[in-house]
Amino acid sequence: MTTKKVVLRFSAETADKPIIYHLVKDYDLIINILKAQINPHKEGTMVLEISGDKYDEGISFLEKQGILVQPLETEVVRNEQRCTSCGACSAHCPTQALYIERPSMDVRFDGEKCILCLMCLKICPVRAMEVRV
């Protein structure tokens, strides 16, 4: 079974369609929505983890609907040498991929939980969080 992370980009014309419903019902795909955002102009992005034997058929369906599908090939990594364990990033991480380990008070990073919101890059005062392509 194929499992991949993708970024979907919706236009105002496609944002109100039941796209995820069809991926699940028509293509028997397992969908994990990692991040979703829609702006006032009804344009949106969604980061999904998609699993299933009909993965390629589901992706083809999305593209036929006018949705831009991009593989999620980048990842956020923590530069251990730069990190001072100040904890600023952990307070802003929506998935707790960055967290403070107690009692040592060291900042830890679980890349599997990361949804690439990139808040940590903006918040980190010593630039210890980096994007790897």
Q: Does domain 75-132 have CATH number 3.60.21.10?
A: no
> One digit per residue, pLDDT tens: the chain, 133 residues?
778 888 898 888 888 889 999 999 999 999 999 888 887 777 888 889 999 999 999 999 999 999 989 887 667 888 999 999 999 999 999 889 999 999 999 999 988 788 778 889 899 999 999 887 6
Q: Where are the domains of the chain?
A: 2-71, 75-132
pTM value? Answer: 0.61
Gap between the Cα atoms of 130 and 118, Å rounded: 9
The domain 2-71 is placed in CATH, from the list 3.65.10.10, 3.40.640.10, 3.30.830.10, 3.30.70.260, at 3.30.70.260
Sign of CA dihedral 14, 20, 25, 28: positive
How far is 53 from 56, CA to CA, in rounded Å? 8
Measured distance CA(115)–CA(126) in Å, rounded: 21
- The reply to whether domains 2-71 and 75-132 share a CATH topology is yes
Q: CA triplet 13, 50, 131: central angle to 5 degrees?
A: 90
- In angstroms, what CA-CA distances link 66 with 41, 43, 46, 103, 116? 17, 12, 14, 50, 24
- Retrieve residue 102's tokens: 């107690």
